Structure 1
Amino acid sequence: MNNIVLLVVDVQSALINEHPYNEEKIIENIRELISTARDNKKEVLYVRHDDGKGTELEHGTDGWQIYSKIAPNENEFIFEKKYNSAFYKTGLKEYLGRKEIDTIILVGLQTEYCIDATCKSAFDYGYKIIIPEDTNTTFDNEYLTGKKLYEFYNYKIWNKRFAEVISVEEVKRLLTMPT
């Protein structure tokens, strides 16, 4: 692991205000990882979704804003996206290439949509992906609860296939290692 980045995807006010599964623990864990990354001079990158005019995630609206409890510092980059993958038409891959990033710590919303698409795109591009436990979330739907979706993707789909799903404490230790 030469160069690592914390990628915070779609933790936006409109989504958090709808109270996804395990939201308080998710936000607290993401806050801890952001703090650890910043304290150890590891880059924190944000991705923000624009769902188009008239939606709760419309560009420029309050709901579109990154959730205030994990907001970026002035010097941190925000990549804007309109598709599920944080890599599709955003410039993220090129940016990571210039920085020689080889490992992505992936956190955010929604588990089965943008986190899944971003995880698999990153895998296809050859990145090592680390998903800290209890740092991604989603909502109940007509088929599964948010909890079941979280468990299914984290432990059945991603872990040991596309990513390593490990504890927040283990990830904090990784962030404190020198590059």
Structure 2
Amino acid sequence: MRNCPLLVVDVQTGLVKEHPYNEEVVISNIKALISLARNSNIEVLYVRHDDGVGEELEYGTDGWQIYHEVAPNNGERIFEKHYNSVFFKTDLKEYLETQKIDTIILAGLQTEYCIDATLKSAFDHGYKVIIPEQTNSTFDNEYLSGEKLYEFYHYKIWNNRFANVLPMDKVRTMMIEN
């Protein structure tokens, strides 16, 4: 798993302060994965979304910052994006190719937007994607609760189609045994 980075997408202050579904568990699990990755010499890659001037995730604002509990260490790579998928108009794909990476562990916000778009783009580019359970989240909307969106994407859309959705314990074991 050394050549299988942890990709932490859009865990930014502006989103976390709005309290997504299962927030405490998700942040705790992402923190645990980051710590385990660092201790296992697995690269942690970050993604930060810029929604533009006047928006909650505007470049340089407090809301745009990566949430302090999961913040990168000095030298950890951050990919800046303006679209749902981190593969669109960024150099992530080129970076992964130079590192000979074929598998990604994916976590972050929001399930039905940036996680879904990034996962499907990764799949389209031939990457294997691992989604640890309870490491991404979203918000209630007028149609579905955050919980229902989470369950729908994980178990109806993604698992065994675009990704492998795995329990945290299994992902931890895979990372340790790298």
Question: What band does the TM-score fall into relative to the shorter chain?
Answer: over 0.9
Partner of 1:25: 25
Counterpart of 2:45 in structure 1 is 45
More displaced 10-residue stretch of structure 1: 24-33 or 1-10: 1-10
**Pairwise CA RMSD of aligned residues?**
0.9
CA–CA separation in structure 2 for the residues paired with 1:176 and 1:37: 8
Which residue of 2 is the match for residue 167 of structure 1?
167
Q: Superposition pairs for residues 3-152 of structure 1, below 5 Å?
A: 3-152=3-152
The 3-state SS of whatever aligns with 2:62 is coil
The percent of aligned pairs where both chains have the same amino acid is 68
Deviations 1:40-68 (A, max 9, x none): 00000000000000000000000000000
SS of the residue 1:32 aligns to:
helix
Partners of 1:123 and 1:162 within 8 A in 2: yes
SS at match of 1:53: coil
Q: Alpha-carbon deviation of 1:177?
A: 2.4
Distance in 2 between the 1:2 and 1:26 partners?
A: 23
Q: Which amino acid aligns with 1:6?
A: L
State the alpha-carbon separation in 2 of the partners of residues 175 and 30 from structure 1.
14
C-alpha separation in 2, matches of 1:79 and 1:95: 10
Cα deviation, residue 109, structure 1 = 0.4
Q: 1:138 to 1:170 in 2, by over 3 A?
A: same
In the aligned structure 2, how far is the partner of 1:128 from the partner of 1:4?
Answer: 9
Question: Deviation above 6 Å: which 4+ runs of structure 1?
Answer: none
Whole-angstrom CA distance in 1 between matches of 2:45 and 2:164: 20
Match of 1:4, SS state, is coil
Aligned partner of 1:90: which letter? T
TM-score, normalised via structure 1 length:
0.98
User: What is the count of residue pairs matched by the alignment?
Assistant: 178
TM-score for both structures, normalised by structure 2 = 0.98
